[in-house]
């Protein structure tokens, strides 16, 4: 029963969904195909030029936010984690949505990523650096470090 729906064992809606995804129909599959194409365009030379993300402290971020050109600060935590607090002026884009919202991020401005403790933010910062974002930083210690900075 190749292509059959697991639940109904018929060539019903599940099979149609798979067929549509293969054809590139729908927002999600279009974005995945688009991202797949972008990844193929990136050559080894471009990858070598992509920098590794730099980790910054909460104090460094505080100083950067007071500058004339403050960085774009992105919170990559899940929505249920936002109750723990946030950095004023930050933009919330969950980690799983970053790949689909790359076109919203500026290439000409420093981007600082943060999460709860800093592990997810470093992964996202690395992901962005590999895709050509030059000034990407990860907040070491995440929101916990930010709240404890005083």
- Residues taking part in catalysis: 115
Would you say how long the chain is, in residues?
150
Please tell me the distance from the alpha carbon of residue 86 to that of residue 94, in angstroms, as a whole number. Answer: 13
Bridge partner list, 92: 75
- Asked if residues 126 and 95 have their Cβ atoms less than 8 Å apart, the reply is no
3-state SS, residue 25 = coil
Distances (CA, A) of 82 to 55, 85, 87, 99, 102: 22, 6, 10, 20, 22
Strands (E), 62-127: 72-75, 91-92, 111-114
Please tell me the distance from the alpha carbon of residue 13 to that of residue 51, in angstroms, as a whole number. Answer: 44
């Amino acid at each position: 029963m190749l292509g059959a729906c697991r639940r109904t064992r018929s060539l019903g809606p599940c099979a149609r969904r798979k067929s549509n995804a293969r054809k590139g129909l729908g927002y999600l599959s279009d974005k995945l195909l688009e991202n797949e194409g972008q990844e193929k365009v990136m050559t080894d030379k471009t990858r070598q030029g992509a920098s590794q993300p730099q980790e910054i402290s909460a104090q460094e971020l505080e100083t950067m936010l007071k500058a004339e050109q403050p960085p774009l600060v992105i919170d990559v935590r899940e929505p249920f984690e936002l109750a723990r607090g946030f950095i004023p002026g930050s933009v919330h884009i969950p980690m799983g949505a970053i790949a689909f919202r790359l076109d919203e991020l500026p290439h000409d401005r420093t981007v600082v990523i943060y999460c709860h403790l800093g592990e997810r933010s470093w992964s996202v910062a690395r992901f962005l650096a590999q895709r050509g974002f030059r000034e990407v930083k990860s907040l070491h210690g995440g929101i916990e470090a930010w709240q404890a900075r005083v």
